[in-house]
């Protein structure tokens, strides 16, 4: 499960065994988890983050979207 970014205690990563799903990133912090589709930076699942936290995280995902997608493609061989 490669960690791609650490930001204000948030860990941005993807799981190595998620073959068959579109590119996405998981964000973990303090037992909370957010899953974001990389194609359109849309929330796939939110487990515990408040709306203002989600908005801040989505801005970070958008800022690093190309790098995250490149890492996904490198890791999964696309």
**Beta-carbon contacts of residue 63 (< 8 Å; ≥ 6 apart):** none
- In angstroms, the CA 33 to CA 52 distance is 14
**How many folded domains does the chain comprise?**
1
Threshold 0.85, pTM exceeds:
yes
What residue numbers bound the domain in which 51 lies? 3-76
Residues 25-35 have pLDDT tens digits of: 999 999 999 99
Mean pLDDT of the chain: 94
């Amino acid at each position: 499960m490669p960690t791609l970014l650490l930001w204000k205690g948030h860990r941005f990563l993807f799981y190595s065994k998620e073959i068959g799903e579109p590119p996405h990133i998981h964000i973990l912090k303090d037992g909370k988890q957010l899953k974001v589709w990389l194609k359109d930076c849309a929330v796939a699942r939110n487990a515990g983050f408040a709306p203002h936290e989600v908005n801040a995280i989505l801005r970070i995902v958008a800022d690093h979207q190309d790098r995250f997608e490149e890492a996904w493609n490198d890791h999964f061989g696309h």
